[in-house]
Amino acid sequence: MTRRWGRALLPLILLAAASCVTPGGEPGALTDIAPGERPTLESDEAGLWMEVDRIENNLKTSGHIVRDPELNAYVRDIVCRLTTDYCEDLRIYIVQVPHFNAAMYPSGMMQVWTGLLLRAENEAQLAYVLGHEIGHYLRRHSIQQWRGVRGIADALVFVQIVAAAAGQGYLGYVAQLAALGSIFAFSREQEREADQIGFELMARAGYDAGEAGRIWEALIEEREAADDPERFIFFSTHPSSEERMETLDRLAGEYSGQAGLTKTNQDAFIDATRAFRTAWLRDEVRKRDHGGFQVVLDNLIEAGEGVGALHFFQGEMHRLRGDDGDESEAVAAYRRALEAGGAPAETHRSLGLLMWKAGELGEAGRAFEDYLAAAPEAEDRAMIDSYLRQIEGDQR
Ligand SMILES: [Zn+2]
C-alpha cells in the first residue's frame, strides 16, 4: 500500500500546484445535519436548497438520466447500506456522462456519472466514492463553504445564473453540470473530512478499504495520459493534493488492517453494470480523448470482463485517431475482438472499412457480409449492400 502511494506522490505534487484550493469556512461552526432534517424556511440555507431543488427538477426530466430500475436499485442499495439513517434523505441520479465524477448537493441530491461506474473495478471502489459524497452531505460542507468564503447570497446568484443558462445553447449539458459542481467545490479540509467519513462508512459496511486508493491511482494515470488534462472534471471540483493522498494512505493503512474488511463484491458490481458497458464505452470513444481512453481500456482489459467488446473499442480508438500505424493496430484489435467473442456486430463493419481502404477487397467483402449476418436489422443495411456491389464490381 505504502509503496504504491510512494510512486503516486510525485504526480500529485504537480497536480496540487495546478488546483486552486480555497480556504475552508469555520469547521465545527455547524452541526451535522440530522436524519430527515430540512433547513427552516427563514434560514439562508433554505434559499440555497430551493434553488438546488429547481435544478433537481430539471435533472429529473433530462434525457441524460439512466432510468434502468435495477441499476438504480443497485446503487441506492449501496448508499443505504453505507448510511441507514440518511438513506431516505438522499436522492441518487445516475447521469450518462463519460467522465469520472460524483457530486453531492446541499439538499441531498447526489449525482453518479456513468464514467465513474465504467471505471470502478468493484463495489468497494464505488462504495468509497459514495461514502465520500455522503460525508459532504452529513457535514453540510456546501453551506459551511459558502458561509465561510463567499456568502450564501453570492452562491444563490451563481446557481441561478448557471441554472438559467440551461437550454440556452451556449452552455452544454456537461459544462452546466461541471459549472454547478465547481460552485459547490469543497476546501481541502472538507475533502479530508469527507474521506475520513467515506472510509468509516466503507469499513462499517465491511468493504476492503485498500480499494479506495486504487480508483484514485487509476484516475491519476488516466489524467497523465489524457490529451487534454484540463477537461478532468473530478479534479477541478475535488482538489487533489499530496496532503490528501497522505490522508488516504494513512486511513487505508488503519482500516485495511482490520480483520474481516475484505469485501469487494466484484461479481455483484460486474453483474449490475455489464448490460450498460457497451453504451458507456461508446460515449467514451466519442470524447476523442485517445490517450486517456487507452488507459481506461488497458485497465478494463486487465480486469478481464467482456474483453471482446473492449478490443473492438480499442480498434475504434485507433481508427478514429488515424496516426501512423493506427490502421494496422485497429485491424489487429478488431481481429482480437472477434477471436475473443462477444464483440458488437460493428466490429465486422469497421474491419471491412479498413480492409477496403487497404485494397483487400476479398476480405472487405467477407467482413461486410459477416456484419449483415450478425446484424440483419442494421439501419445501414442498404449502404453496406451498395458497398458490397461496388466491391464486387471492382473485383471483376
Ligand atoms: Zn469531495
204 and 292 share one domain:
no
Q: What pLDDT is attached to residue 372? A: 98
Q: What pLDDT is attached to residue 210? A: 83
Q: How far is the CA of 95 from the centre of ligand 1 (A)?
A: 18
248 and 293 share one domain:
no
The yes-or-no verdict on residue 73 having pLDDT over 90 is yes
Q: What pLDDT is attached to residue 15? A: 29
Cα distance between residue 215 and residue 195, in whole Å = 13
The mean pLDDT value for 112-127 works out to 96
Residue 26 banded pLDDT, cuts 50, 70, 90: very low
Is residue 129 situated within a structural domain?
yes
Q: How far is the CA of 136 from the centre of ligand 1 (A)?
A: 7
Q: How far is the CA of 329 from the centre of ligand 1 (A)?
A: 39
Tell me which of 328 and 144 has the higher pLDDT: 328
88 and 159 share one domain:
yes
285 and 223 share one domain:
no
Tell me which of 179 and 335 has the higher pLDDT: 335
Chain segment 173-195, per-residue pLDDT in tens = 777 777 777 777 788 788 888 98
Is residue 303 situated within a structural domain?
no
Q: What pLDDT is attached to residue 234? A: 65
216 and 173 share one domain:
yes
Residue 11 banded pLDDT, cuts 50, 70, 90: very low
Q: How far is the CA of 96 from the centre of ligand 1 (A)?
A: 20
Q: How far is the CA of 306 from the centre of ligand 1 (A)?
A: 31
Domain boundary among 264, 285, 318: 264
Relative to beta strand 109-113, strand 102-104 is antiparallel
Q: How far is the CA of 183 from the centre of ligand 1 (A)?
A: 13
115 and 189 share one domain:
yes
Q: How far is the CA of 363 from the centre of ligand 1 (A)?
A: 52
Tell me which of 330 and 236 has the higher pLDDT: 330
Cα distance between residue 108 and residue 44, in whole Å = 16
Residue pointed to by grid coordinates 490502421: 327
The yes-or-no verdict on residue 355 having pLDDT over 90 is yes
Domain with residue 385: its CATH number is 1.25.40.10
253 and 376 share one domain:
no
Q: What pLDDT is attached to residue 47? A: 82
294 and 391 share one domain:
yes
The mean pLDDT value for 355-364 works out to 96
Q: How far is the CA of 360 from the centre of ligand 1 (A)?
A: 53
The mean pLDDT value for 67-72 works out to 98
List all residues 6 or more positions away from 181 whose beta carbon is below 8 Å from its beta carbon: 101, 103, 233, 236, 237
Q: How far is the CA of 204 from the centre of ligand 1 (A)?
A: 20
User: Which among 219, 197, 182 has a CA at the least distance from the CA of 132?
Assistant: 197
Pairs from 80-84 (Cβ < 8 Å, separation ≥ 24): 81/205, 82/127, 82/130, 82/131, 82/134, 82/201, 82/202, 82/204, 82/205, 83/131, 83/134, 83/138, 83/201
Chain segment 123-141, per-residue pLDDT in tens = 999 999 999 999 999 998 8
Is residue 270 situated within a structural domain?
no
The yes-or-no verdict on residue 7 having pLDDT over 50 is no
Is residue 187 situated within a structural domain?
yes
Chain segment 254-273, per-residue pLDDT in tens = 776 666 778 999 999 999 99
Q: How far is the CA of 73 from the centre of ligand 1 (A)?
A: 23
149 and 129 share one domain:
yes
DSSP string computed for 198-239: HHHHHHHTTB-THHHHHHHHHHHHHHHH-S-GGG-HHHHHS-
The answer to whether 174 touches 99, Cβ cutoff 8 Å, is yes
184 and 63 share one domain:
yes
The mean pLDDT value for 297-309 works out to 95
How many domains in the chain?
2
Domain boundary among 244, 264, 284: 264
Q: How far is the CA of 358 from the centre of ligand 1 (A)?
A: 49
Cα distance between residue 396 and residue 365, in whole Å = 13
Q: What pLDDT is attached to residue 165? A: 64
The mean pLDDT value for 23-52 works out to 73
Q: What pLDDT is attached to residue 271? A: 97
211 and 73 share one domain:
yes
Is residue 48 situated within a structural domain?
yes
Q: What pLDDT is attached to residue 376? A: 96
Is residue 342 situated within a structural domain?
yes
The yes-or-no verdict on residue 77 having pLDDT over 80 is yes
Q: Calculate what percentage of the chain has a pLDDT beyond 90.
A: 53
Share the mean pLDDT of the chain. 84
Is residue 246 situated within a structural domain?
yes
Q: Which domain holds residue 281?
A: 276-298+309-395
Is residue 289 situated within a structural domain?
yes
Single pTM value for the model: 0.85
35 and 175 share one domain:
yes
